[in-house]
Structures are given as structure tokens and as C-alpha cells.
Amino acid sequence: MNQDIPLGDVNFNDITRVMIECGSKVSSEDMVNLVEMKDIIFKLHVDKLGEQKLKLIIDSVAKTTNILNNLDITAMTDADKQHKYNSTKHLYNSVLYYTIFLTIKMKNDSALTEDAKRDFIPLVKEHWTSFCSCYE
């Protein structure tokens, strides 16, 4: 797989670079948490867009997530590349679902927040667990 393949406003090399930078700041006993990774992914998209408008950043992250979810990797035979793709896909899905949940929560509507908790938190956990399991 071409590491420079466009994934919206970023590419695999961009994502890999920020993941390595983040991982190098964490001690071996600590695990990177979702909030830190969301901030890192958002900063990457801000840097690429040259914009700090939240809607544009979320749209950019969503575009990358959609591309990752629809990328056909059936021809990919290199296990390391498959691992990298899968971990990136799970990371982006975690970040996007978490961001959607936080956006809904900011509406201060308790019924809507409870529905979002029911609908989105399991998806966040599923993808975050899958992302973390890629590095166990």
C-alpha cells in the first residue's frame, strides 16, 4: 500500500508520524488514552488544513474515517501493512464516534445524551479496544 495515499486531508505517513510521536512520549507502563489521541488527530488535521474551525476539523476527520472504512485491502499481503491499516482505521473510528458523542453531550439535553451514550459509547469502546489490542 502506498503510504502517501490520500486519506482526505492526511495520509498514512502523517498519521503514522503523529502516532509514533505520541507513543514516544508515553512510558512503557502507561497506555495512550482516547482523549490524548483525539487531541493529536485533531492537531494533525488542524496543521494540514491551516484551520482551527471545529466543524472543518470534524468534517476532515470524518472524511478520513470514511475513506479508511471503505478502503479495499483484500489484495494487501503484507501483515505489517494490514496491522497498520487496521489500527489506523480503529483509531479514527474511535475518535470520530467519541467526537460525535461529545458534540451531542454539549447540547445539555439529558435525554439526547442518554441516547448518545447508549448508541455511541459501545462503538467507541469497540473500536478503541480493537485499536489497543493491535499493540498488545
Could you report the per-residue pLDDT of 42-100, keeping only the tens digit for each? 999 999 998 888 899 999 999 999 999 998 888 778 888 888 889 999 999 999 999 99
How confident is the model at residue 32, as a pLDDT?
A: 73
pLDDT at 5 over 70: yes
Count Cβ atoms within 10 A of the Cβ of residue 85 and give its class: 0-12 exposed, 13-18 middle, 19 or more buried: middle
3-state SS class at 133: helix
pTM across the whole model: 0.89
CA dihedral 14, 73, 94, 29 (to 10 degrees): -70
Q: Which residue type occupies 115?
A: D
Q: State the average pLDDT over residues 22-44.
A: 77
